[in-house]
Amino acid sequence: MTPEHLIHNSRFTAIDFESAGATRGKSDSPVQIGLASWSASTGHTNAFVSYLHTDQPILWSAQKVHGITALDLTEAPTLIALWPEVKSRLSGAVVVAHGKGTEKRFLRAFPGHGFGPWIDTLLLARAAWPELADHSLGALCEVHGLTEEIRGLVVLRSWHDALFDAVASLVLLGHIIQTHSLLDEPLGSLLYPDTSRWHARRRA
């Protein structure tokens, strides 16, 4: 989609990875992927989550965060094996992540995939609410009263589950769009935000 495409006509698909944790001299490896979509017309749809096979051990420090163990990965597919699933969900969508660096790095498993444009809700939130001390996904959703909505959309899951965090980033994105009256704006308003206009709208 181009920056001129209107936000209310756009399909946003969020992606989140949980990882095994990086050890000295080795790259990190994903152990779970979550994907979900949202648009103004259809709401929240197309949730998908899967554990991912890895040959690397899950570090205790990572396991302490997300709770994923080697037992959870028994018979899990590799990320490469999920290429058709990932492609069908991300192709033609505006890709969303909170702190997109990890997600973009793990998607390098698919060279030349061409997914995008990308929206980083971490950067958007910093632009929208620069006065907040904590722009982590959980803190933002708590301070804006979004957590119960997320729990209603993703039952029996919580923070640092890949699907829960993917849906949370979409709920946060929708909240930014709503509170700053961006629904009828071009997509470029999110890709290259002019926050002076955002804050002027809020004051009005």
pLDDT value for 37: 98
Residue 178 has pLDDT above 80, yes or no: yes
Cβ count near 91 (within 10 Å): 12
- Using 50, 70 and 90 to split pLDDT, how confident is the model at 115? very high
Residue 66 has pLDDT above 90, yes or no: yes
Mean per-residue pLDDT for 46-68? Answer: 93
* Residue ranges per structural domain of the chain: 7-203
CATH number of 7-203: 3.30.420.10
Share of the chain above pLDDT 90, in %: 78
pLDDT value for 27: 73
Mean per-residue pLDDT for 147-168? Answer: 97
Q: How far from chain centre, in Å, is Cα 31?
A: 16
Tell me how far apart the alpha carbons of residues 176 and 140 are, in angstroms, rounded to a whole number: 11
- Using 50, 70 and 90 to split pLDDT, how confident is the model at 22? confident
More confident residue, 192 or 100: 100
* Per-residue DSSP letter, 27: -
pLDDT value for 192: 83
Is cis: bond before 77, omega within 30 of 0?
no
Residue 204 has pLDDT above 60, yes or no: no
Mean per-residue pLDDT for 107-130? Answer: 93
In which element (H, E) is residue 162 found?
Answer: helix 162-179
pTM of the model: 0.93
Tell me how far apart the alpha carbons of residues 33 and 82 are, in angstroms, rounded to a whole number: 10
Tell me how far apart the alpha carbons of residues 142 and 130 are, in angstroms, rounded to a whole number: 16
Residue 193 has pLDDT above 80, yes or no: no
* Per-residue DSSP letter, 186: B
The span from the first CA to the last CA of the chain, in angstroms, equals: 30
Distances from the Cα of 90 to the Cαs of 11, 14, 57, 78, in angstroms? 10, 8, 29, 18
